[in-house]
Structure 1
Amino acid sequence: MSVQNFLLKQYLRRHYKPRLNAHLTLEEARHELDSVVERFLPLASIGVNIEHSNVAGVECEFLTAPHRTPKGVLLYLHGGMFSMASPQSHRGATQVLAKRLKLQVVTPRYRLAPEHAFPAALDDVIAVYEALQHDIEPGTPFYVAGDQAGACLGFQLVQRQLADGGLGPDALIGISGLYDLTLSGPSMESNAEADCFATRLAFERAMDFYLGPEDERDRRAVSPLFGELHGLPPVLLQVSDSEMLLDDSRRMAAALEDAGVEVELDIWKDMPSCWHLGAVALPEGREAIDRMARFLKRIKS
């Protein structure tokens, strides 16, 4: 374990996680997340070009490594329990993705709950995806990735595309993904103490924000884990063995295999959920992204 990982975990466990159990208002929770980003996940450019553009009515960040022609496009969907975070909060990951994967990384500022409940975020990412697909040169590699709620949106996006007869991406990558919106995975309880970041209360409140009270919507029906998985492109799932969402990835990997989808499950030891966000300063974050690069290279060969 790197020193950086140790310090990050100690801070999250001692200062951030207890605050998630303190019945914060949404604005307070958003501020807490911003404080973690400011303290541990540097936003300063590390040698990438960052531009902003409106795509299908959605503001997006475009990140590219300078002096290089991108070898494809990666649509990256940030996490934040559907109600927090932004493209800026995830630059600690997206800048490294642009450099190490040699791709143009596009991160939409999709609408957040509860101000904009389901399906607003999904509608936004579908609109961006379809516009990007329309504009890229035929044959250009096009991938979709996301962390936590963003991984959920990525799967929902691809499932919707395939159900509507649209074109799916060349690969799908999920980081610490939230695939079961009923929150029924065994590790939601067994890893509740080991997880240095999340809490049951935070997940339950996020589902209320995003989907409304449980009796108003069937949460199983909108969970990627229980949706149609046949026909999905190759999938890489990365997750920590100590996080509450571990079994979301385990069960998704098993379900994908049963559906005949090529899937690689990459379980890391004792990492914070979505540790890739610290990739600018966290060695394990950069190594995880390098594994993504090897996965994409392998599926292309």
Structure 2
Amino acid sequence: MPSPQHLLLKQFLAAATGPLARQRPRLTTMRLATEAAALFQFVPWNVFLEETDVDGMAAEWLRPAGAPAGRVLLYLHGGGYVLGSLNTHRSLVGVLARSCQLNTLVINYRKAPEYPFPAALDDARLAYDWLLAEGYAAHNIMVAGDSAGGGLALALLLHLRDAGQPLPAAAIGLSPWTDLVLPTATLRQVCREESQLLEALEIRGWGGMYAHETPLAHPLLSPVRAQLHDLPPLLIQISDAEVLHDDVLHFTQKARAVGVPVTLQVFGGLVHWWHLFWRFVPEARLALAQVGDFARGVWAAQEAAQAVAERASQKARSATPYRPRPQV
């Protein structure tokens, strides 16, 4: 049962966005609205903001006090590939960085329709390569994202795998968009309200803007349609009330079938992007705390595997018989 705070949030969003969904506002208007809403967001306590430049791309670090220097989280914000910025997600990413205790790099990747596929993916790859060049080992990097950013994080894994590049330690998807196709018949089954259906149809249009001339079923646009073998551990969070729910379940089942370790956490009755409202929605704080638990679990498993390997190496060295060098 969703909390009273979430029920109030849902009522507010329905009142605020329902009329807008019917009017189908222009993209420029929606961008201005999201940026205006970002004015009310603040960096969480004990997290420090540092602007940076990633080979010409605007980016920023969110650094929690006491975070280790050698590990990092690369975050890709959501917004349907057409909305969102460093401003709109600063508060969410700040609390996520604090929960995971990871210095977190957020990039302002290029948006559609001005920059269609593969611009966003190219920018994500650029940021990942930049981190490697800065001295971070791949096994000390995690990748995360929400909504379209979650789908972009999964596409980055597929892109790196197919290019034979080192993969990050893990990836985190907060309500990831795994299938840009979104068939209308499926939407009508999933959407419980007219406003929700209108919103979903709008999102599908955004997917077309990003895809441009590339088929929506392309695996780097719709990761659920890709071959999912040899991926690192994944954490995926989704609400059973979201339009994206069924596609996420399909992705999870498909990944697990080929041996990918996937932690799926399903929340009941929550709106899409509930993570953004962590300041007053307890389910959001719970979800982000669980992301932190997952991250610590990945590092603990990594350290345990390294300790086992070191013990095995020491045992092998001690078992090697001593052979004195022959006298000349």
TM-score normalised to the size of structure 1? 0.91
Aligned pair partner of 2:217 in 203, 220, 223: 220
Deviations 1:176-211 (CA, angstroms, capped at 9, x unpaired): 111111113976333323598671221122022211
Residue 286 (structure 1) shift: 1.4
Aligned position for 1:210:
210
Query: Contact 1:43 / 1:89 at 8 angstroms: preserved in 2?
Result: no
Contact 1:152 1:178 in 2 (8 A): yes
**1:248-263 paired onto structure 2 within 5 Å:** 248-263=247-262
The answer to whether the 8 Å contact 2:178/2:224 transfers is yes
What root-mean-square deviation, in Å, do the aligned CA atoms of Structure 1 and Structure 2 show?
Answer: 2.2
Superposed CA offset, 1:132-181 (max 9, x none): 02323447621001011101110111100010010111111111111111
The residue aligned with 2:13 is 12
Q: 1:243 to 1:262 in 2, by over 3 A?
A: same
Mean Cα displacement is larger for which, 111-120 or 28-37? Answer: 28-37
Equivalent residues in 2 for 1:189-208, closer than 5 Å: 189-193=188-192, 199-208=199-208
Give the superposition deviation at 1:115.
1.2
Structure 2 contact 132–138 (Cα < 8 Å) conserved: no
CA separation in 2, counterparts of 1:241 and 1:52?
Answer: 36
Residues 145, 154 of structure 1: 8 Å contact kept: yes
Give the structure 2 partner of residue 147 of structure 1: 146
* Post-superposition CA distance 1:212-269 (Å, at most 9, x none): 2xxx432111311111211100111101111111112101101101121000111101
Specify which structure has the higher proportion of helix.
2
Q: Which runs of 5+ in 2 are unaligned?
A: 302-328
**Alpha-carbon distance in 1 for matches of 2:97, 2:137:** 21
Aligned residues between the structures: 296
SS in 2 for 1:99: helix
Partners of 2:284 and 2:243 lie apart in 1 by 19
Q: Could you tell me how far 1:71 is from its partner in structure 2? A: 6.3
CA distance in structure 1 between the aligned counterparts of 2:172 and 2:15, rounded to whole angstroms: 30
Give the corresponding residue for 1:90: 89
In structure 2, relative to structure 1, the CA distance for the partners of 1:288 and 1:187 (3 Å cut) is: farther
| AA matched with 1:24 | P
- For residue 321 of structure 2, what is the aligned residue in structure 1? none
Q: Conserved in 1, the CA contact under 8 Å of 2:71 and 2:140? A: yes
Q: Which moved more, 1:1-10 or 1:178-187?
A: 178-187
Which residue of 1 is the match for residue 60 of structure 2?
Answer: 61
Check the 8 A contact 1:187/1:246 in 2, yes or no: no
Matched residue type, 1:218: P
Over 3 Å counting, the alpha-carbon distance change for 1:265 and 1:57 in structure 2 is same
Distance 1:262 1:120 in 2: 29
Q: Could you list the runs of 5+ residues in structure 1 that have no partner in the other structure?
A: none
Please report how far the alpha carbon of residue 292 of structure 1 lies from its aligned counterpart in structure 2 after TM superposition. 1.1
- Cα distance in 2 for partners of 1:31, 1:217 equals 28
8 Å CA contact 1:144–1:172 kept in 2: the answer is yes
Superposed displacement of residue 109, structure 1: 0.3
How far apart, CA to CA, are the structure 1 residues paired with 2:46 and 2:234?
Answer: 29
Is structure 2 residue 293 aligned with structure 1 residue 298? no
Q: Which position in structure 2 is the counterpart of 1:114?
A: 113
Which deviates the most, 218-227 or 106-115?
218-227
Give, in whole Å, the separation in 2 of the partners of 1:6 and 1:37.
22
Q: Structure 1 residues 170, 10: CA separation in 2 closer, same or farther (over 3 Å shift)? A: same
Distance 1:178 1:237 in 2: 11
Q: Does the CA-based 8 Å contact 1:180-1:224 persist in structure 2?
A: yes
Shift in alpha-carbon separation, 1:32–1:138, aligned structure 2, 3 A: closer
Question: 2-side partners of 1:139 and 1:164: how far apart?
Answer: 14
Structure 2 CA distance, aligned partners of 1:294 and 1:47? 19
Q: Determine the structure 1 residue equivalent to 2:276.
A: 277
SS across alignment from 1:84: coil
Contact kept? 1:144, 1:173, Cα under 8 Å: yes
Partners of 1:295 and 1:95 lie apart in 2 by: 17
